[in-house]
Amino acid sequence: MIYAIVGEDVPGSLERRLAARPAHLERLHALRDQGRLLMAGPFPAVDSPDPGSAGFTGSLIVAEFPSLPEAEAWAGADPYVMAGVYARVTVRPFKRVLP
């Protein structure tokens, strides 16, 4: 099943985000290498591909997992969670229709 994982950043967490980013990306690369990652990326805080010091408001990950509990466990172990970047993480089943 496909799941949408939305992490919402704690305000002012850009430095923590940048410090935890390599470990966060390593986990995403593992999903990609397993053929389970459909898309992933951050939400810029301003309308720009490079928000600079404005930072980000969160992230979206869309990936395949065997079950909702496994997707929730994976999301809960994210380095951004451990570093205090995310204030909240929501995991929801997702039905891909297009493309």
Q: What is the pLDDT of residue 70?
A: 98
Going by C-alpha positions, the residue among 51, 31, 56, 23 that lies closest to residue 41 is: 56
- How much is the pTM? 0.95
**Residue 36 to residue 41: CA distance in whole angstroms:** 15
List per-residue pLDDT tens for the chain, 99 residues long: 999 999 999 999 999 999 999 999 999 999 999 999 999 999 999 999 999 999 999 999 999 999 999 999 999 999 999 999 999 999 999 999 998
Cα 76 to Cα 49, 54, 89: the distances in Å are: 27, 25, 8
Q: Pairing between strand 37-44 and 56-64?
A: antiparallel
The C-alpha atoms of residue 72 and residue 69 are separated, in whole angstroms, by: 5
For residue 99, the model assigns a pLDDT of 86
